[in-house]
A and B are shown apart, each in its own frame.
Chain A
Amino acid sequence: GAGVSQTPSNKVTEKGKYVELRCDPISGHTALYWYRQSLGQGPEFLIYFQGTGAADDSGLPNDRFFAVRPEGSVSTLKIQRTERGDSAVYLCASSYFPKTGELFFGEGSRLTVL
Chain B
Amino acid sequence: GNSVTQMEGPVTLSEEAFLTINCTYTATGYPSLFWYVQYPGEGLQLLLKATKADDKGSNKGFEATYRKETTSFHLEKGSVQVSDSAVYFCALNQGSSNTGKLIFGQGTTLQVKP
Contacts and interface: CB of A to CB of B under 8 A. Distances in A.
B101 interface: yes
Interface stretch (A12-20, A35-43, A64-72): A35-43
Given A40-B106, A42-B91, A99 B44 contact: no
B77 interface: no
B101 A45 contact: yes
Interface stretch (B62-70, B78-86, B92-100): B92-100
A65 B19 CA distance: 40
**Interface bin, chain B:** 20 to 34
A100 interface: yes
B43 A91 contact: yes
Interface in A37-87: 40-45, 48, 50, 55-56
Contacts of B98: 98-99
A63 to B, nearest CB: 21
B100 A101 contact: yes
B43 A101 contact: no
A60 to B, nearest CB: 13
A43 B101 CA distance: 11
Contacts of B106: 40-42
Given A43-B89, A99-B98, A100-B100, 18 more contacts: A42-B89, A42-B106, A44-B104, A45-B101, A48-B100, A48-B101, A55-B99, A56-B101, A93-B44, A95-B100, A98-B100, A99-B100, A101-B46, A101-B49, A102-B46, A102-B100, A105-B43, A106-B43
